[in-house]
Structure 1
Amino acid sequence: MAIGPRLDLRHAQSLVMTPQLRQAIKLLQSSNLEVIAFVEEELERNPLLERDERPDGPPADAHAGREPAAPPPAPADSFESSTAAALPPEGDAPLDIRDWSNVYDDEAPRGGRADFDEDARGIEALAAERPRSLREELGEQLRLTFADPMDRMIGAQLIALLDAAGRLPAPDAAIAAALGCAEARVARIRARMQRFEPVGMFCRSLGECLAVQLAERDRLDPAMAALLRNLEMLARRDMRGLMRACGVDAEDLADMVAELRRLDPKPGAGFDAVPAPSLVPDVLMRPAPIRSGEAGEWLLELNPETLPRVLVNRGFHARALVAASREERAFLSERFQAANWLVKSLEQRANTILKVAAEIVRRQDGFFRHGVAHLRPLILRDVAEAVEMHESTVSRVTANKYIATPRGNFELKYFFTTAIGGTGGETFSAEAIRHRIRSMVAAETPDDILSDDAIVAALRREGVDIARRTVAKYREALRIPSSVQRKREKAVPA
């Protein structure tokens, strides 16, 4: 055997993911906000890309100098005479990002106001009124309550130490040592500031917070004080133990618990909370007009608010190539290809979302017509086979995508649920079973609390073959207490 270097030729196949392919996959699984942010970055980076600011449905002469628009994406397959997906007419197409049709010559007339009308309001009227923060509200009450500068300084320190819930975790002794004053003075000022609006601030525990609010309402009697000392028993729903500790009967305890529920356990949480961003659905769904003798259909379209509208400036690209150097030509060619790739990827993403959503709506038609009890078992492979895509593609499409339906906004992944077998060979959706368990528990009476075994027996009478441990898992996922805890809770209505 000869030992030495050799040169061999071999043929092999391998899958190479280009940066453009990776970016297209990332766009597919990104939410509409992430896609808009990415397009904004591309608009700043690529001089051949421009935002399409034309209004929907422009007049015919507004397209002078531009290539004719391509037809909108083809509607998804019809839903076997029960559901249909459609896009708006060409003039109202929600997606103006097509491969070659949305390139234009920038010498074409641009839109704008012909009368040069401007807003005549003053700048003070344009600025939105900023709501006052919690510390600003407390600071104003501090200045109106205390006249002594030292008291105001102590109060300002207490306001600065508040947490998001309105609690004051630092002890009076530590605050007094830091400010060089008497601890009794800090305690006196803190007790007075606890009556500031909202009442119950500057407390160190939940019990103290509730006690301050009850004292403000003149409801802090010995029985209520005993209830506040035994809040852990209330958390365990040990109503019989609470009746013994407070020395009251069931009716009085129910009134006391109802009084506690009307209080605010975190009085400072509602001031500076950032409002949750509104959910913008990617797909809009509405019922189609009902034809005589036929079942109603569904119409699906992409939400135009979630579709970035960009154009490729072909005229600028052609003029720039005339006087460009070799390096500049290479740069322009690369940017031109990137711009065309972006509009093509956005169009493909939109069509894929619409196609997958249409198949989901077709399969879950019973849910949209009759509710969650009619939700069918569905897995990614079922949709992937129907739309002729890979399961990973369907998984990316349904991630962070929402659909607006007559029953509310839902994430597309919500409609994928595992199957639970039935006694007669039929399968049931796990989400529908969870909904059934919630309904059964909600319909309980204090004298008839259902155990997990009783729930299993009731479901099996309805044809669902389910194990007790599965019922317990679903119940815990729904945050439903055990039958023992529910019996304690419903023994004393509150």
Structure 2
Amino acid sequence: MKPGLSLRVSQHLTLTPQLQQSIRLLRLSTLELGQEVEQMLADNPFLERNPDEASREEFGLAQADTPPPEEPYADWAAPVSSTSSADSSQATLTEAEQGNSDSSSTEVLDWEGDGSVDMAPDDSEWGGDAPACSRGTDEEMDVSATDLAHGHESLAAFLHRQTVGLRLSPEDKAALYFLIESLNEDGYLEDSLESLAQGLAGEEHSDDIEELLHHFTVALHLLQTLEPTGVGARHLAECLTLQLAALAAHPAPAIPPETIALALRICQQPLEGLARRDVRRLAQTCGATEEQTRAAMALIARLEPRPGRPFISVERNAIIPDVLVRRMGHGQAGHQFSVQLNPEVMPRLRIHDIYAGALRGRRQDEGHQALQQRLQEARWFIKNIQQRFDTILRVSQAIVERQKNFFVHGELAMRPLVLRDIADELGLHESTISRVITAKYMATPQGTYELKYFFGSGLGTDSGGNASSTAVRALIKQFIAAENPAKPLSDNQLAEMLKEQGIECARRTVAKYREGLKIPTATLRKTL
């Protein structure tokens, strides 16, 4: 084979560090973004929080390439506008994801950007309309959901408080403490006493297992006498039995004792029959009439299958929306909506003026280049965060415009919407839209929803149009809510009712939507 030289020209996509960071920030949730900001503040000395308010009319993303002010160390400001978006800031991200870049240069491995050492006025501050944290005289009246969650008493703390007055030996007290700490959040003891004793004693002290097992048995009996009733159960049947036994010891006047006794016998049977509501078989097994069995099953249905439910922390259920949608006006004018970013989730950052000024007066050497790169990194971080929220705002505005009927009439008015519709309208790639709508939330007059909620496929109609799958789910839920509890609608009947509305929906699709709504089958919905 004869060696030779050849020259070939080709195009390839180059992802610079700032572009990679922009893509990564776009897919982060609000919580993850806050963690990223805290990490950057700890790592980069040129980045700091800005506690002051900024004028939002002075600067914006459009001034990103304007020359810096002549005064050294002047305050730079670039809050994002909640009513406008900058299409130019999206060009780099869009071209990178669509593969339309025609650059043939080598890969950039630093944060030098275009090579300039000066930066636009808009990289010193961002998030101008986020109010500073203030401590007024009414502080006790303004309690967040997180503060309430932190002040919520846990199940273990509630049980430990009940054991203070018990007279127990040190061994039994320690065993009871161990069992309380071994409960799951629902109040169940998932591990058997034998496994707990073996794990605590270890292989080297196997002779102590019997003694530990005795203390655990005594402690379990004490634990199951504490409130809430049913705590310490090892399975559902035992949990229901504990509650029925407590009810039998102190019966209510409206509940006959024979109903409680029958309910106890039902709980001793396999729970599959109770789950299927097989009244006839349970009546034959327990030696009772079907009417008595229905009354006992109704009593069981009123019990608490998860005793620890009231003590579960609510912090994880607190959602802070990224976008706020408000109705403007009333009547016909009320069909207009304003879309803006939530200032509570917008970080307010700026370049540290003193450090940046000290770097300008430093002589050019190897250390200067390293610090200049960190300064450029801080500037790109601020700009990428601003671009992230601008993209979220643009996508949210497009969603509100497409789904305006939903914000007026609710779920039944939802229209089919796919990623390509928004991507084509905004000139972005579908992957960008996918990153934006994931783990981002919108507060609307209808409630708070994830942006992904507004997207859904369409089902064919008799008129030749499409009906949103979200609207079909809402229609199914409406049919089931209005059904006769004694004769609930089957999936076939629901499919026929949708067909009468002009929507072609197969029975399997109806079953899938019903299961997605967490609605049980017709057999389980039937009243006793």
Shorter chain as denominator, the TM-score bin is: 0.7 to 0.9
322 and 160 in structure 1: CA distance in 2 versus 1, 3 angstrom threshold: closer
Provide the secondary structure at the position in 2 that maps to 1:455. Answer: helix
- Measure how far apart 1:396 and its partner are: 1.5
Select the residue among 37, 40, 43 that pairs with 2:38: 40
Question: Is 2:301 the counterpart of 1:261?
Answer: yes
Q: Deviations over 1:173-193 (max 9, x none)?
A: 985974544977764553344
Contact (CA 8 Å) 1:226, 1:245: kept in 2 or not?
A: no
Provide the secondary structure at the position in 1 that maps to 2:316. Answer: coil
Provide the secondary structure at the position in 2 that maps to 1:144. Answer: coil
Rounded Cα–Cα distance in structure 2 between residues aligned with 1:467 and 1:411: 28
250 and 406 in structure 1: CA distance in 2 versus 1, 3 angstrom threshold: farther
391 and 7 in structure 1: CA distance in 2 versus 1, 3 angstrom threshold: same
Aligned length: 445
Q: Which amino acid aligns with 1:278?
A: A
User: Match of 1:199?
Assistant: 229
**Range that drifts further, 441-450 or 457-466:** 441-450
Q: Which amino acid aligns with 2:187?
A: G
User: Match of 1:24?
Assistant: 22
Rounded Cα–Cα distance in structure 1 between residues aligned with 2:456 and 2:243: 46
User: Match of 1:90?
Assistant: none
Q: Deviations over 1:344-373 (max 9, x none)?
A: 212221211111100100110111100100
Rounded Cα–Cα distance in structure 2 between residues aligned with 1:183 and 1:266: 26
**Range that drifts further, 443-452 or 370-379:** 443-452
Q: Deviations over 1:27-72 (max 9, x none)?
A: 11111222222222222222222211114679x9xxx984575685
Contact (CA 8 Å) 2:327, 2:335: kept in 1 or not?
A: yes
Q: TM-score, normalised by structure 1?
A: 0.79
Q: Which amino acid aligns with 1:51?
A: R
- Measure how far apart 1:447 and its partner are: 5.2
Q: Which amino acid aligns with 2:480?
A: V
User: Match of 2:505?
Assistant: 466
Select the residue among 73, 78, 86 that pairs with 2:81: 73
Provide the secondary structure at the position in 2 that maps to 1:215. Answer: helix
- Measure how far apart 1:172 and its partner are: 6.9
Rounded Cα–Cα distance in structure 2 between residues aligned with 1:279 and 1:252: 45
User: Match of 2:496?
Assistant: 457
Which runs of 5 or more structure 1 residues have no equivalent in the other structure?
78-97, 105-110, 120-126
Rounded Cα–Cα distance in structure 1 between residues aligned with 2:485 and 2:330: 46
- Measure how far apart 1:328 and its partner are: 2.2
Select the residue among 198, 214, 217 that pairs with 2:244: 214
User: Match of 1:308?
Assistant: 347
197 and 178 in structure 1: CA distance in 2 versus 1, 3 angstrom threshold: farther
User: Match of 2:12?
Assistant: 14
Question: Is 2:426 the counterpart of 1:418?
Answer: no
190 and 316 in structure 1: CA distance in 2 versus 1, 3 angstrom threshold: closer
Rounded Cα–Cα distance in structure 2 between residues aligned with 1:281 and 1:320: 39
Rounded Cα–Cα distance in structure 2 between residues aligned with 1:185 and 1:179: 10
Write out aligned runs for 1:216-235 (5 A). Answer: 216-218=246-248, 221-230=260-269, 231-235=271-275
Select the residue among 259, 276, 280 that pairs with 2:320: 280
Select the residue among 137, 145, 170 that pairs with 2:192: 170
- Measure how far apart 1:472 and its partner are: 2.5
Rounded Cα–Cα distance in structure 1 between residues aligned with 2:472 and 2:453: 14
Contact (CA 8 Å) 1:321, 1:332: kept in 2 or not?
A: no
- Measure how far apart 1:15 and its partner are: 0.6
User: Match of 1:146?
Assistant: 167
Rounded Cα–Cα distance in structure 2 between residues aligned with 1:264 and 1:112: 42
Q: TM-score, normalised by structure 2?
A: 0.74
- Measure how far apart 1:490 and its partner are: 1.7
Could you say what the CA RMSD is over the residues aligned between the two structures, in angstroms?
3.5
247 and 302 in structure 1: CA distance in 2 versus 1, 3 angstrom threshold: same
Q: Deviations over 1:321-340 (max 9, x none)?
A: 32345012202321222222
Provide the secondary structure at the position in 1 that maps to 2:326. Answer: strand
Contact (CA 8 Å) 1:194, 1:203: kept in 2 or not?
A: yes
112 and 454 in structure 1: CA distance in 2 versus 1, 3 angstrom threshold: closer
Provide the secondary structure at the position in 1 that maps to 2:335. Answer: coil
Contact (CA 8 Å) 1:67, 1:102: kept in 2 or not?
A: no
Question: Is 2:437 the counterpart of 1:398?
Answer: yes
Provide the secondary structure at the position in 1 that maps to 2:509. Answer: helix
User: Match of 1:81?
Assistant: none
Rounded Cα–Cα distance in structure 1 between residues aligned with 2:478 and 2:133: 57
Q: Deviations over 1:107-131 (max 9, x none)?
A: xxxx999xxx9x9xxxxxxx99966
Q: Deviations over 1:437-470 (max 9, x none)?
A: 1221222214543333322221111111222322
Aligned-residue identity in percent = 36
Q: Which amino acid aligns with 1:18?
A: T
Question: Is 2:458 the counterpart of 1:436?
Answer: no
290 and 440 in structure 1: CA distance in 2 versus 1, 3 angstrom threshold: closer
Write out aligned runs for 1:48-447 (5 A). Answer: 48-55=46-53, 66-67=74-75, 69=77, 73=81, 75-76=83-84, 99-103=120-124, 133-142=154-163, 144-168=165-189, 169-171=191-193, 175=197, 178=208, 180-181=210-211, 187=217, 190-218=220-248, 221-230=260-269, 231-268=271-308, 270-271=310-311, 273=313, 275-290=315-330, 294=333, 296-314=335-353, 316-446=355-485
26 and 161 in structure 1: CA distance in 2 versus 1, 3 angstrom threshold: closer
Contact (CA 8 Å) 1:66, 1:103: kept in 2 or not?
A: no
Which runs of 5 or more structure 2 residues have no equivalent in the other structure?
59-70, 86-118, 126-131, 140-146, 199-206, 252-256
Contact (CA 8 Å) 1:67, 1:101: kept in 2 or not?
A: no
Rounded Cα–Cα distance in structure 1 between residues aligned with 2:77 and 2:216: 74
User: Match of 1:92?
Assistant: none
Provide the secondary structure at the position in 2 that maps to 1:217. Answer: helix
- Measure how far apart 1:239 and its partner are: 2.2
250 and 354 in structure 1: CA distance in 2 versus 1, 3 angstrom threshold: same
Provide the secondary structure at the position in 2 that maps to 1:225. Answer: helix
Provide the secondary structure at the position in 2 that maps to 1:305. Answer: helix
Rounded Cα–Cα distance in structure 2 between residues aligned with 1:205 and 1:71: 56
Rounded Cα–Cα distance in structure 1 between residues aligned with 2:309 and 2:467: 42
Rounded Cα–Cα distance in structure 2 between residues aligned with 1:36 and 1:153: 41
